[in-house]
Amino acid sequence: MSGTSGNLLTTGGGSGAAISCPHGGRATSTTGASDRAVLVNGAPVATATHNYVVTGCPHTVGGVPEPCVAVRWTADSSGITVDGAPVLLDTSAAQCVTAAFVQQGPPFVQPAQREVTVR
């Protein structure tokens, strides 16, 4: 392992990180609920195969709407995989992009607080 650290991202279920574009639009996973290989707090762990869409981005250029519509992730080389796909961490590199794939900056990721119980 390369020493990469961070919190696992999940694809929702109310326990995931809050992810937004640089302009305040909300990013959510579009991966179906059938993807349940590994769960954290009941939500699937996000991997490099998951797609994230951005809604509500108000960004304009010269008065013309140029909203972020997706987040493109670059999975870390942590060595951790789910079904062969690298997991996404809250520290994974990413870019928010327009419909024309113009990069508009990295998303803001507010990690979810996790409760750990040791028995």
Place of tokens 């590994």: 38
pLDDT at 1: 42
pLDDT at 70: 97
pTM over 0.75: yes
* pLDDT tens figures, 78-91: 678 888 888 888 88
Q: How far apart are CA 117 and CA 1, in angstroms?
A: 26
Write down the domain spans for the chain: 18-110
* pLDDT band, residue 113 (cuts 50/70/90): low
47 contacts 39 by C-beta, under 8 angstroms: no
